[in-house]
Structures are given as structure tokens and as C-alpha cells.
Chains A and B, each alone.
Chain A
């Protein structure tokens, strides 16, 4: 696995990504560079179609980039195979999505323990940790309920429990409050902030909601595939061989 010592949790250098619809080429990221330190809670904001979800997908290794470099904890994503990237996600990342994305056929605790089982944790230990994660988000009593039997907020908390059950380094959240009412949204953001502060998790979330953005310590704004503002304290992106 390619690895360099890095002070950053996440590093992107001149990242380009274009979608080819067959009839047209749509540039989604046009030379994005950024660096996020461990333990930061960053919000990426911008209007619909500005490329923020694409950025999150590319940074997390869910999507491939056309050019540029992405380093996660010093590892060059481009040099990882699909299998290694997947394994890295299972071990070091958590995901929270707008539409909860729980498996409807599994109950809450089964959903939460899935990443643990994928990491090879024994079923019994996995169950204990999953219940503890659910406890952390206040859902232990709802452990055996299926997603359809949970409210929107409960489902998102289950997703958060699933995201942190593996004690990841980075949690990616795409519109985590997009489908929630404002009070539930605040509740979820409070929980994420708490996890960021208490557990030292690096959280990158994508949102178009200014209130959500305001609750993060750092705000990155995007427009037309470019970062238009970044209120980072000091970010120095190192020059890299092969970077555009």
C-alpha cells in the first residue's frame, strides 16, 4: 500500500473529474485542491450541481478521478486497487447519507454490525460493539427494529452508529440532514459534533443548508466544480510529482 507520512487526514491535489453522458461531457471537478487535518469537521457547501457530492465521492474513494491526486492518511488512492480501497473503507471510514441507506431487510443492530463483520470481527464481538454504537446514538432499545419501523431521525442515527462502529478515522456525510425536519437535523448535527469533539473523528459533510454548515468548524464553498472559498486557518498543499 502506497503510504507517505502526512500531517493531513485528507489531501486533494488538482483533482479533475468529468462525467461523460454519452452526448455531452460535464465537468464536475475542475482542479480542486484541499487538505483536511485529523479531527477537523468540515462542511462543503454550494448550490445544487456544483460538484460537492462528486468531491465527497472522489475523496472517499467511491469514485475515480480523471487526474490529480488524493491522499488519505498519507495513502495515495490512485495506487490502491479496488480491493484495497474497499478494505480501507471498511476499516477506516464511515458513511452517512441523506437517504439513510440502511438495508431495509436487516434490523438496526444487523445494519450497524455489517462493517465489523466485513472487517473480520467475530459475530459475538461485532454484536457487542454494534449495540454499544447504538447506545452511543441513543438507540439501544431500537436495536431489533427494521428501518421501516424507525423514524427519520432514528434511521439517520442508526446510519451514524454504523459509520462510527468501526472506530473510523474519517466519516463522510452527504446531506446528513437533508431529509430531516429542523429540530431532528439539529439533534443529528449535535451528535456529530459531539463525536467529532469526543472521539476526534475527522468529519467531512456535504450540505446546502447554511445552518448545518455553520455548526462546522471549517466551511468550504464550491461553485461550478471549483472551490471558491475555504476558511481554513493555514493550508499548504505540497507540490507532488505528477500533479497537474
Chain B
């Protein structure tokens, strides 16, 4: 992975190394110039070994999370690039069919078209003597269905259908690559190798034999000597498996494991497919090794484009593109994991501050004494820094290594999920380790500096006597300065955000601003409870404003996934301040209902009173749990609601079964499809409606003057247009209802409709994989001119469509398909319109409505069986959507698990606090025991205290998460028209109960320690 957030990883590493260097220099300065303070700091490390271990565990979590996020990115990068290198081998570019003006060729558009066989000679001649390339090879590609028979493969279509009906087809792959390559050139491209590594000689492959790829062998369950059948042009053919080759382009594997491949000599395939003197592509291998051949790729591509300008031939720099996609995907993954990990990192920072506040509290008397005998505040800071840096350096190491472990765990989970597509190969680069380590140490160092400065501000007398600091009535100018700073920063951010339509800046500014005002009010003596309670309520209201209200107040603002984190931070800050400032209200409540607690009342009362005495500690702990629970509740609620919205009754647009078919065995129109089914003995009276659609995988679309974006393009026949239960969430002006849009699609050739992911502000989950096509205004005038989700109508938008073959047409978007119809994804135009850019579609789909939708799955199976020879793959659309959702949900569970790492931080905090509380309250425990607290009541008090704090955090996180989720779903941001919020109570309750139990377990040991304190010994402790 070379980039994250658009910044090169090398630059990030250099900056972080410099920052780490600065941190270490500061400590080195302390060591040299303040040796005694340095030694004092260092000697504290081994003073309490158990505490040191806990501190290191607490501090390492940020590094762990960062390392895991980067490691996951590396794993994706490594898996995809390895796949690319292993599959492509020495092949760097492909020269194939294209009509594109820029000379680019799309592999999806070009595979089904052929070019003259002499193209290979033109390429050879072009590079002769240049030293740029070392070999070329002609290739012919066809997509065919393949079957493994029980016994010999049938010789004709009828026998094949009969075999299917008799159950003699053991396994079928409706869409497989059949590739023909020139045996003379194979060795120049790495050679065909069997799975055991021995070389395979394609040149001597007898007639009637074929070599299949490892993936094909796995999918079919075929072995050498088995008889397989395939069909081309609806003619059945058969061959015996001569060998099983390692997966590569040469054995027909083009990338992922979804499409298996098989190979025969080029001239034999040319004969079968009636393509004499025609090939699909020329594979070009650059000079250099497999992993080091891209230095001259631009020059080579440019030369090829010039050579073939004017011919319907283009260039695809397949290796470079695949490596770039790997980089993009890994960067997107890392970004997602980092953004979702921000919650845990934020909680980790709170923990660091908390730990150092605890250490300071423990040494308060010592610090007071040091100050009394002349130590400056800065010197106390130096002492803490020395100690903190040792912890940070050690914790960084532990965190980085455990982060690698976490990355491997995530890779394992991803492998389980996507293993069918490609192998996940866990890998964490040394650079990522360095970046994670440095970032972890630097974050810890900064948090330690902050905590140390905070700790150094102590009342010397109060510290020596270890009694509570009495707040000074003297007004501090510092309050005014910080207040002014907060107001200025808040105002600037708000202004920048509102004028630049940035939701992040505007909301951050609007959230910081009241803190500045609060500090002013505090300076003038207004009570802390009043001021901060008002600020809290303001923050909660601001962040929970319904979208319609906030848009009216602040206008349209652009926000992305980072708003998820920002909203969490400020909502939780607001709720936590409100709770902490009003804790005594809760105590009053306990007093009022005291009788309900019976004999446990004394324990309950002390348990609830102690948190109120240490508001900042309590606040930080509540905030930690609140933040993590907020993120988990919000995430699982969104996940659940998306699933439900996309699996609703309208999701399948009224169609029950879809039959997909590749290009090698064309069937024709809907009527041809129905006729063929009848011929094969299928009872077509089960069908109530039929429609046909075509799909181009390599389609592109752009608004006039805008950039091209990738999109699936589809043609629709009249049946598909008319009989689809399509609803439009928005329509262009002049189209008052859905019927008028359908009418236009049936009668005009210049209109199209598009799914709602193209809307402005709907830039896809994560948004970083690749800027998807959106209907944003290309002139950069801001989003006002784009079609926004929720606009009832819009001016028709003219777009250019480019087919996979490079041809372009212009259409008007007149409708946005309702997002609840999740089975229709991409841009849809009338068939005649789309045929212009999609003469040979990547896929032809027949949409079928059946009389009894409950039989969809059985009907799909029957259709697939009847049309197996044609390579038809039929699915129940409902089942397909459910499978897709189930996979998506599992993927999101991985994120949820990753976010749950923050809970460990919270639990560590609970442990640190509880252990500390036992030490701090030793004397008070003695008194309680003296006046009659049973030892069990002491431990009960500790457990109730933990439970109380965790409960407050969990409750506030849950309520905030649900309120924000409700806001999103009640509005029209995600699902047009809004839906009533589905709350995944079971999941939420499981999260809360587990958190609660784990917190109590963390408190169990310190609580037992406290209960076992001998009263006399505890009282003697001073």
C-alpha cells in the first residue's frame, strides 16, 4: 500500500520518524540536562510491576489498532498484486478490440470481439530493435459453459440435454474461459506448468484433449482423463482432460477465481470458433522480470496507441491497471479501518490521559514535596515525560506486534468471506509497522505531555497533605485566552465550512464555538454546572437536528464517512458533560428511592457517591464506553436497516428469476428464450411475464464536461421496461409520474434511468475505492446544481455513455430508480439505444415473473438445467439478494469486531481505575469496615460503582447511537421516503450485556483486594 488519504506512505513515514525523533530528542535533553528527574521518572517504571503491565497494555491499544488497519490494507494489496503477478506472469499489456478515441481498450469489451491475426506481426515490427519488449503472443478467448459428465460426454445437443435430465452431469460451470494460445510463444510467457510444477507441452496436445486450470479442476471436481463437455455456438463439444495447469492467463484465468479457464492450441480454437486469421488479443511482455517490467509501460502503451490509431484496436495496460486497483482497494480498506478505528484510537487517547492522571494522583504527595523544595512545574512535566516515553516505546512495540496478529485475524476472516474469489495472503509491510509504531508512540507522547502539564498544576499544600485541591477563586487569564482561542477557531471553522459547503468544518466549528463562550462565562463566575449543561444540551441538539432542519439553517453541506466519527465525538462529549455535571441529581434520586435497595443501600450509596467525587476520571470513563457503544450501536443499526431496506418486497422490481447468459451461445430475444424453453420441455405456462436486459461490464458515463465514471450499463427490452415494478424516487421535469418515465423509455431512444447511487452525496460506502459516477455538477459550482437526494424533480441531465468497445452515445437521465429496488444497479436505457454502444453485451439476462413466486428457486434450477448447454445460469433474485446481503453483513461484522477493540480499551480503563481506587481509598475502606461494612459489602460497593459508570456510558452511547441512526433513516438520506427505524435489539443487548459482564470481571480482582483489607492495617496507612 503506497497511499492513504491521498498522502504517500513514504511521506507519512518520514514525517512520523521526524516527529518520533523530536520526541526522543526532548527526552534525551531531559536525560542529559535533568539527569536526576530522568532517573526519577525511569525508576517509577519498575516500582509497581503489575501497574506497569496494565499501563503498557492500555497504551499499546492505539498502536495495535493502527497496525491492524495498515496490516489489513497491506494484506489486500499483497493478495491482489500477488494474484496479478501470479496470473499475468510476464504479460504486461494486451492489444485488443476497441473503438475508444483515446486508444484504451477494455478487457470486458474486447474479449468477445476479434482483431486480425496479423496484429501480432505489427506489434513485433513496432518494437523491433527497441529493447522495450521481449515477446508477444496471439490469444483467442471465448466464454463457454463447461460440464463434467458421468462417463463419456454426449456428442450432440439432444443427448446433452438428456444427460442433464438423467442427472449424468456431475458438475457444470456455465461461464468459463476457453483460451487458445500459440504453443511456439508459450515459453516466452512463463510456460504452461502443471500443478506439480512440471512443464506442459501444448504443442503436442493431441486432438480431442484439453488442459484445464487448477480452478476449473477444483470447481468441476475433474481429474486427468475425465471427459468434459462444452458448447460453442450452441454446438456441443467434448474433450478429455490431458493435464491440470497452474492458474494463469495462459490457462484461461483472467483474474479472480470466479471464472475458471481451460486452454488449447490457438489454431485448434480458431477452427472450432470459425475464426481463422482472427484473434482476441495480443499479449505483450515487456523487458524485465515479472515483478519488474513496468518501467517503460507508458512509452510502450503510447507507441501501441499511435500504431493502432484509426484501427478498431486499443491497448490495455493490464498489469499496471491491476496493480493500481490493488493499491486503490488496499488504500480504501485501510481508510475504512482507520476511520472506524478512530473511535478506538480516541478512546485509547482518553485512556492514556486517564492512566497518567492516575499515576499523578498516586504520586501527589511526592510531587507536592518536590514542588515545596523548589521543583518547577516544567521539571515535574520532564519527570513524567521520561517515564511516559519509556512506557510509550515499550507499548508501541507490543502494540505493533499484536496489531500484526490482529491484521492476520482480519485476513483470516476476509479469507473466509472472499476466499472463493481470490486467496487472501496475509502480509504486513515493514513500512506499515514503522508507521504504526511511530504513530502510536507519537500519539502516546502527545497525550502524556498534555496529561503531565495538567498534572503539574497542583496546590502544593493540598498535594503534600493529600487532601482535595480547593479551586482558587482567583480568575485565571488562561481561561480567557483559551476561551478566545476556542471562539476564534470555532468561528473560522464555521465560516470556512459554511462558505465551502464542508459539513466537517462547519459542524466542528459550531461545536467548538460554545466551549469558548463557556470559558468566558466561567471567567465571569457563572456556575460550571449551568454553563456546561447548556453547552451539552446545545451539542446534543445540534448533532441530532433532523436533516431537513439543518439544511434550512446551514444550507446543503457535503460530508462523508468522517462525519460518523465527528458526530460521535461531540455527541458523546455533550452527553458525558451533562451526566458528570449532574451526577449529584442521580445521588439524590438514589436517596429518594433508597428503601428499594434494602440492605445493599450503604454499598449503593458509596458506590454512586465516589464517581461524583472524581468527575474528570468518571467523565473520561463514561466517555470511553459511550463512544465505543455509540459506534457499535450506530453501526449495527445502520447495517440492519440497510439490509432490511434492500431486502424489502420491492427489491426485486417484481421479477422472480433471472437467467444470465454469456456471449458464446446466444439465445436471442425474450421470445427466442421462451421458444427455446418450450423446445426443451419447460412448461412456460408457469411464466407470467418475461423481459430481457443486456449488460456491459466495462461501461462508462459522464456528465457533459465531467470526468468519466465506471458504471454498469444496461439495455432493456419492452418487456423489461413495461413489466418491471419500477418506482422512481425522483423524476426529471416534464415527467409527472412513473408511468410517463416508462412511456418515454418505451417510445424514445434518447432517455435513460439510473440507480440512486449516482446521486450527489451518495458517493458509495467509503467513497475511496474509486470515485464512482455521480450526478454532481462538473463545473465545480458546488452541489446545488446536482440532483440531490430528495429533490422531487430535476432538470433532465444529459450524459455521455461509452460502451466497453469504446463507442459513445448521448442520453438524458429522466428518472432515479427507487433505492429500495436494490436488484437494478447501474444505468438503464432502451435496448435499441444501448445496442449502439453494446453490440456484444458482456451478459444477456432474461427476467422472469412466475405465477408462484414461492417456486422461484425450483424454477430457476429447472431453467438452468434445460439451458445448460447454452451456458445459462439462473437464480432466484430474492435468494441472490439475500446471499449478497448475508455476505455484506458478514463483511460489516468484521468491521464491527474491529471497532469492538475499543471495548478492550474501555475495559483496561475500568481495571486501571478500580486498582487505583483500592489504593486511594484504603483508609476509607478501613473506616467503612470499622463502622460495620461487611467485607462483601465493600466488594459489592466496588462492583456497583463500576456497573454504575459502565451503565451510564452504555446507556448514553446506546441512546445517542439510536437517535442518530433514527435521524438518518427517518430522513431521506439513505432510503428515499424514509423508513421506520428497525432497532437490532438482540445484537445491542448482547453487546451491552457482554460489556457489562466484562467490566464487572475486570473489577472483580480489585474489589476482592479491597474487601480483604484488614481494617486496622487500612486505617494505619497514611
Residues of B602-646 whose CB lies within 8 A of A: 602, 605-606, 609-610, 612-613
Q: Which residues of A contact B523 (CB under 8 A)?
A: none
B930 touches which of A53, A95, A122 (Cβ 8 Å)? A95
**Do B923 and A101 have beta carbons less than 8 Å apart?**
yes
**Interface secondary structure of B, over-half rule:** helix
Query: Is A115 positioned at the interface, with any CB of B under 8 Å from its CB?
Result: yes
Question: Please, which residue of chain B has its CB at the minimum distance from the CB of A106?
Answer: B609
Query: Is A110 positioned at the interface, with any CB of B under 8 Å from its CB?
Result: yes
Residues of B895-921 whose CB lies within 8 A of A: none
A200 to B927, CA, bound (A): 24
A62 to B470, CA, bound (A): 33
Question: Please, which residue of chain A has its CB at the minimum distance from the CB of B934?
Answer: A86
Query: Is B996 positioned at the interface, with any CB of A under 8 Å from its CB?
Result: no
**Do A89 and B931 have beta carbons less than 8 Å apart?**
yes
Q: Which residues of A contact B1020 (CB under 8 A)?
A: 53
Interface size class of B (residues with CB under 8 A): 35 or more
B931 touches which of A64, A95, A106 (Cβ 8 Å)? A95
Q: Which residues of A contact B928 (CB under 8 A)?
A: 103, 114
**Do A110 and B930 have beta carbons less than 8 Å apart?**
no
Query: Is B933 positioned at the interface, with any CB of A under 8 Å from its CB?
Result: yes
Chain A nearest Cβ from B404, distance in angstroms: 43
Residues of B1007-1022 whose CB lies within 8 A of A: 1014-1017, 1019-1020, 1022
A105 touches which of B613, B930, B935 (Cβ 8 Å)? B613
Q: Which residues of A contact B927 (CB under 8 A)?
A: 95, 97, 101-103
Question: Which of the 9-residue segments B41-49, B561-569, B593-601, B767-775 touches chain A?
Answer: B593-601
A87 to B468, CA, bound (A): 32
* Known A91-B932, A123-B595; contact A148-B1016, beta-carbon cutoff 8 A: no
Q: Mark A60-92, 1 if CB is under 8 A from B, else 0.
A: 101110000000000000000011001101110
Subset of 21 A-B contacts with CB under 8 Å: A57-B1016, A86-B929, A86-B935, A89-B931, A91-B932, A95-B931, A97-B927, A97-B1019, A99-B1022, A103-B609, A104-B613, A105-B606, A105-B609, A114-B602, A114-B928, A115-B931, A118-B602, A119-B932, A123-B591, A123-B595, A148-B467
A104 to B1022, CA, bound (A): 16
Q: Mark A135-154, 1 if CB is under 8 A from B, else 0.
A: 00000000000001000000
10 other A-B residue contacts (CB within 8 Å) besides A62-B1016, A63-B1014, A101-B924: A89-B932, A94-B931, A101-B1019, A105-B613, A114-B931, A115-B931, A117-B602, A118-B602, A148-B467, A162-B931
Query: Is A22 positioned at the interface, with any CB of B under 8 Å from its CB?
Result: no
Query: Is A120 positioned at the interface, with any CB of B under 8 Å from its CB?
Result: yes
**Do B924 and A115 have beta carbons less than 8 Å apart?**
no
Most chain A beta carbons < 10 A, residue from B468, B928, B930, B1020: B930
Binding site for B on A (CB under 8 A): 53-54, 57-58, 60, 62-64, 82-83, 86-87, 89-91, 94-95, 97, 99, 101-106, 110, 114-115, 117-120, 122-124, 148, 162
Query: Is B937 positioned at the interface, with any CB of A under 8 Å from its CB?
Result: yes
Q: Which residues of B contact A63 (CB under 8 A)?
A: 1014-1017
* Known A57-B1019, A62-B1015, A63-B1014; contact A118-B610, beta-carbon cutoff 8 A: no
Chain B nearest Cβ from A67, distance in angstroms: 17
Question: Please, which residue of chain A has its CB at the minimum distance from the CB of B612?
Answer: A105
Q: Which residues of B contact A91 (CB under 8 A)?
A: 932
Question: Please, which residue of chain B has its CB at the minimum distance from the CB of A64?
Answer: B1014
Binding site for A on B (CB under 8 A): 467-468, 470, 591, 594-595, 599, 601-602, 605-606, 609-610, 612-613, 923-924, 926-935, 937, 1014-1017, 1019-1020, 1022
Q: Which residues of B contact A106 (CB under 8 A)?
A: 605-606, 609
**Do B468 and A148 have beta carbons less than 8 Å apart?**
yes
* Known A95-B927, A103-B609, A105-B612; contact A118-B1019, beta-carbon cutoff 8 A: no
A101 to B925, CA, bound (A): 10
Q: Which residues of B contact A57 (CB under 8 A)?
A: 1015-1016, 1019
**Do A123 and B594 have beta carbons less than 8 Å apart?**
yes
Q: Which residues of B contact A110 (CB under 8 A)?
A: 591, 605, 609
Q: Which residues of B contact A103 (CB under 8 A)?
A: 606, 609, 924, 927-928
Q: Lowest 8 A-B CB distances belong to which pairs?
A: A90-B932, A63-B1016, A105-B609, A57-B1016, A123-B594, A105-B613, A62-B1016, A101-B927
Chain B nearest Cβ from A189, distance in angstroms: 21
Q: Which residues of B contact A115 (CB under 8 A)?
A: 931-932
Question: Please, which residue of chain A has its CB at the minimum distance from the CB of B1020?
Answer: A53
Question: Please, which residue of chain A has its CB at the minimum distance from the CB of B1022?
Answer: A99
A83 to B927, CA, bound (A): 16
Q: Which residues of B contact A94 (CB under 8 A)?
A: 931
Q: Which residues of B contact A102 (CB under 8 A)?
A: 927
**Do B924 and A118 have beta carbons less than 8 Å apart?**
no
Chain B nearest Cβ from A127, distance in angstroms: 9
Q: Which residues of B contact A114 (CB under 8 A)?
A: 602, 605-606, 928, 931
Question: Please, which residue of chain B has its CB at the minimum distance from the CB of A114?
Answer: B602
A83 to B933, CA, bound (A): 9
Q: Which residues of B contact A122 (CB under 8 A)?
A: 595
**Do A90 and B605 have beta carbons less than 8 Å apart?**
no
A64 to B1014, CA, bound (A): 9
Q: Which residues of B contact A123 (CB under 8 A)?
A: 591, 594-595, 601
A123 to B935, CA, bound (A): 21
**Do B605 and A118 have beta carbons less than 8 Å apart?**
no
Chain A nearest Cβ from B740, distance in angstroms: 71
**Do A89 and B595 have beta carbons less than 8 Å apart?**
no
A117 to B468, CA, bound (A): 27
Chain A nearest Cβ from B598, distance in angstroms: 8
Most chain A beta carbons < 10 A, residue from B612, B927, B935: B927
Q: Which residues of B contact A118 (CB under 8 A)?
A: 602, 931-933, 937
Q: Which residues of A contact B926 (CB under 8 A)?
A: 62, 101
A119 to B601, CA, bound (A): 11
Q: Which residues of A contact B1022 (CB under 8 A)?
A: 99
A120 to B599, CA, bound (A): 6
